[in-house]
Amino acid sequence: MTEEQWEYFVGFRERFRDKCREFLQRGEKLLLKELQEKIQALGNTPYYPVENSVVYNRNLDKVKKESRIDYVLVGDNPGKNEQLEVNSSYLVGLSGKIGEGFFKKNPGLKTDFRDNIIILNKTPIHSPKTKDLRDLIRLSNGELLPLLNGSQIWMAEETFLLAQKLDCPVWIIGYSELKPKGVFSKYGEKITELAGKEPCVGVFLFQHFSMNRFTIDLNAYMEKNPGLSLTEALIALGTGHRKDVLGW
């Protein structure tokens, strides 16, 4: 990173850390942790104690000025493995292993999943499964909705501006909930608003790593478009999904 990029990243990292503390304090007043444990049974998830209701990605603390950042990658929200105190990091479960494996199997991309990618989420608020966020809002009688929506708007803006400063594309992994009635609609709206203001780095939408959907979707696209290189296919596929979902 250049000196300017490094200073911006460090500032972002501290803002993010502080914001997670703020979200946690607001969540505690609304019994966020208790509700997160209650929705486990509703989603047929075996009980586990919630250790972090709001998860700051501690892997950001490993980024150095000498780090080369190729992508900013955006997942959904922290799940069971991510919220564990021993981890407190993003994409450390099976989905993360699949993502890591993709880049290892494609050395031509010259990207290490853990070293050259900044991993963020659409919200740092934990739930067992992404769909469980709906139950979280319902059980709180809607009181948690401003927190969830506000966290998405903050993450979308900070992520977009960070990628602009680092001059690297944004990969949004998982896009079905970005649609108008989706649980991450506010994230989609904010990214769309920001991208329309001025020329920007690429924003690409892809299927989830989970259940290997990312790779299955990409392979199917490349079979239909055999003349494209891997990089060209990724750009075309990610652009196509963005147009379908966000309209631009």
CA-to-CA separations, 228 to 1, 169, 242, in angstroms, rounded: 30, 19, 19
pLDDT at 198: 66
What is the average pLDDT across 170-176?
A: 98
Instruction: List, for residues 84-122, the tens digit of each pLDDT value.
Output: 999 999 999 999 999 999 999 999 999 999 999 999 999
pLDDT of 98 reads 97
pLDDT computed for residue 201 by the predictor: 74
Q: State which amino acid sits at residue 141.
A: N
Is 196's pLDDT higher than 90? no
Q: Which DSSP state fits 115?
A: T
**pLDDT(134) > 90:** yes
pLDDT at 131: 95
Rounded average pLDDT over 61-66: 98
Q: What is the pLDDT of residues 24-55, one digit of tens each?
A: 999 999 999 999 999 999 989 999 999 999 99
Q: How far is CA 168 from the centre of its chain?
A: 15
**The sheet that has 170-173: what strands, in order across it?**
117-121, 71-75, 170-173, 203-206
* Share of residues in the chain with pLDDT > 70 (%): 99
Which string of DSSP letters, residue by residue, matches 146-209? HHHHHHHHHHHHHHHHHHHHHT--EEEE--GGGSTTSTTHHHHHHHHHHHTTS----EEEE--S
Q: What is the pLDDT of residue 209?
A: 97
Model confidence at 20, pLDDT cuts 50, 70, 90, reads: very high
Tokens for 129? 């499964």
CATH 3.40.50 fits 3-246, yes or no: no
Is pLDDT at 231 greater than 90 in this prediction? Answer: yes
The pLDDT of residue 199 is above 80: no
pLDDT bin (cut points 50, 70, 90) of residue 197 is confident
